[in-house]
Chain A
């Protein structure tokens, strides 16, 4: 029940295209859903995050779509650029105030944007 399932494992997109990465969760107590971007040799960097009271959040070229009833959320990268080539992780956690705010990560998606 603590798992976050992420797909696809890898993704190749042409420059200018849309990259879409999907995640699904089981624990309905999760109420914070961030996406992290990780380049080789670096730690994960927060890209964008959403809470379940909204169905979509957009920041620049990055959009999270959230479907509470389906327990799914996805990251859309519009106008994908070669510089977006990295590994992307979805995650989920329970807001502090009760349980420890540990992040449960998906298994990652390796995105390659071809020029």
Chain B
């Protein structure tokens, strides 16, 4: 186990709704990244937070937003849900250091948009 937890495990929403996904990082990890994994594909980078500030973003629209809190938890918010947002959403925590970092993934939240 990686020590990274996510909630909920599964979620069903309808198009146009908003959703909040949650992640609890490993204790002491100052960086959290969020990825979207469509069925049969590799994870795609959404964004990364370092010390509660956004620190890089992938090719995702602004309706994907996030927060990182001092207690190592974080959120991914998606507004105006579209059918193509159906995917497994993964968070990965890591300790940013000069020697590089290993990203530890949680089990993911499976989102289905109808």
Q: Footprint of B on A, CB under 8 Å?
A: 6, 32, 34, 36, 41-46, 49, 51, 89, 91, 95-97, 99-108
Smallest distance from the beta carbon of B92 to chain A beta carbons, Å? 8
Q: Complex formed: what's the CA distance from A77 to B1 in Å? A: 22
B44 touches A105 (CB 8 A): yes
Return the contact of A106 from the options B42, B97, B106, B108 (Cβ within 8 A).
Answer: B42
A43 touches B42 (CB 8 A): no
What would be 30 A-B contacts, judged by CB atoms less than 8 Å apart? A32-B100, A36-B105, A42-B108, A43-B2, A43-B4, A43-B92, A43-B105, A43-B107, A44-B43, A44-B90, A45-B105, A46-B104, A89-B43, A91-B42, A96-B96, A96-B97, A96-B101, A100-B48, A100-B55, A101-B33, A102-B33, A102-B45, A102-B48, A103-B103, A104-B45, A105-B42, A107-B41, A107-B42, A108-B40, A108-B42
Q: Complex formed: what's the CA distance from A74 to B41 in Å? A: 19
A101 touches B90 (CB 8 A): no
Taking CB as reference atom, which chain B residue is nearest A91? B42
B12 at the interface (CB under 8 A from A): no
- Given the known interface contacts A43-B90, A43-B107, the answer about A103 and B43 at a Cβ–Cβ threshold of 8 Å is yes
- Given the known interface contacts A101-B96, A102-B45, A103-B43, the answer about A42 and B102 at a Cβ–Cβ threshold of 8 Å is no
B8 at the interface (CB under 8 A from A): no
- We find that the number of chain B residues with CB closer than 8 angstroms to chain A is 32
5 further interface pairs, Cβ-Cβ under 8 Å (given A89-B42, A97-B98) = A32-B100, A45-B105, A100-B48, A101-B33, A101-B48
Q: Complex formed: what's the CA distance from A101 to B42 in Å? A: 17
Return the contact of A44 from the options B55, B58, B98, B105 (Cβ within 8 A).
Answer: B105
